[in-house]
Structure 1
Amino acid sequence: MLGRRRLLLAGAATALALALPLRAAPAPSLLQAARDLFPHDDVPDADYAATLAGLSPELTTTLVGLLDTPTVHASLSPAERKARMAVLLPQPAMQALRATVMIGLYGNLAVTRRFGYQGPSLADGGYLDRGFDALPWLPRAPRGGGEPWWP
């Protein structure tokens, strides 16, 4: 027997599924361009693909037209792809891709936690009490004041 609560939950889930448009997987050239712009080996392709889902269909078509050329093929070496991206980057469509991937990737808390970001600190008293001096590459400050410890 289906209870009222389960029926409402199932109806809401069905309505949400019907309201969300189905997006196809991004073109391999777009995914490679996103990785070339913001290279992180430990971030899976699914996180890059999620950022590309925010592109409009018109912009996606324009970007695929720019990127799916013989000179921007995925079989090129990373140095060759980087040089080609430097040529394409001033174009408005590429700037839109760059902004979309940057905001989508670095605005995703699940992704930034992979980089060591601990999340907002206001609820924990701020960064002075949590993580302010937790930089392993920075030399330790001397205790008790005295001379500045930076060069």
Structure 2
Amino acid sequence: MKPTPTAGPAMRVLDKQPKVSRRGFLRGSGLAAISVTVVPSAMAVTKDVVVEHSFPLLGTATGRTLVRMARDIYPHDKLAEKFYVEAVAPYDAAAGKDSTVKTLLINGVHDLDQRARQRYGVPYIQVKTENERVALLKDIESTPFFKKVQGDLVTGLYNNKKLWPLFGYEGSSWQKGGYLHRGFDDIDWL
């Protein structure tokens, strides 16, 4: 006898065929052209303001480096900078409560910047390519500083419920009867 599905929210059905009309494509292209010219300048101001206000104890320079480091450790091109800021912003509060955390983070960023200056002549945040920054991170991956940042980012970034839809994760399902009858195979991001 076949088990009956439990009552709950209906399963999401995905249509794999993109439906874009010529008119829709042209409209989207026009909006994209506008956003390429207008959005970058607005985003630059927003990034600095968010980082500046998120790290009053550690400082803006340390905050910017931690955010850049977070993006380099867990790169997601489609994620806005604010999500990375949210993931590392708790370090500022932790630094206020525990001086060893503050020392670890400030000294770790200082060491990373020193290594970047020795190799590329600029601080870590100004290193041009992702590959060059990743090479610097590989050099320090056995340090307590790197391990702390990398380990905390797992929960700081991936436990953010606002990001789950962007990753295609619908959240916990056991409260709704499990995934078996609720579309366990409706992965649309593969």
The answer to whether TM tops 0.5 is yes
Q: Structure 1: any 5+ residue segments left out of the alignment?
A: 1-21, 139-151
Q: Which has the higher contact order (CA 8 A, sep 6+)?
A: 2
Q: CA deviation at 1:75?
A: 2.8
1:75 aligned onto 2:127: yes
Counterparts of 2:136 and 2:85, CA distance in 1: 21
- The residue number in structure 1 matching 2:79 is 43
Give the distance between the partners of 2:135 and 2:55, measured in 1 at CA: 31
Q: Which amino acid aligns with 2:153?
A: V
Corresponding letter in the other structure for 1:65: H
TM-score when normalising by structure 1: 0.68
Superposed CA RMSD: 2.1
Q: Which moved more, 1:50-59 or 1:30-39?
A: 50-59
Q: Is the 8 A contact 1:88 1:94 kept in 2?
A: yes
**Using the alignment, how far apart are the partners of 2:165 and 2:130 within structure 1?**
26
Output the CA distance in 2 between the equivalents of 1:75 and 1:87.
15
Work out whether residues 51 and 105 of structure 1, in 8 Å CA contact, stay in contact via their aligned partners in 2: yes
**Cα deviation, residue 115, structure 1:** 0.6
Residues 137 and 30 of structure 1, relative CA distance in 2, 3 Å threshold: closer
Which residue matches 1:133?
A: 185
Q: Which residue of the partner structure matches residue 12 of structure 1?
A: none
Task: Output one character per residue of 1:90-147: Cα deviation in whole Å (capped at 9) or x when no partner.
Answer: 1011100001111110111111221110111122210101121213588xxxxxxxxx
Matching residue's letter, 1:90: S
Q: What residue is the counterpart of 1:66 in the other structure?
A: 111
Q: Distance in 1 between matches of 2:133 and 2:187?
A: 33
Unaligned runs of 5+ in 2: 1-53, 96-101
Mapped contact 1:121–1:127 kept (Cα < 8 A) = yes
Higher fraction of helix: 2
How many positions carry a matched residue from both structures?
A: 117
> Scaled by the length of structure 2, what TM-score is found?
0.55
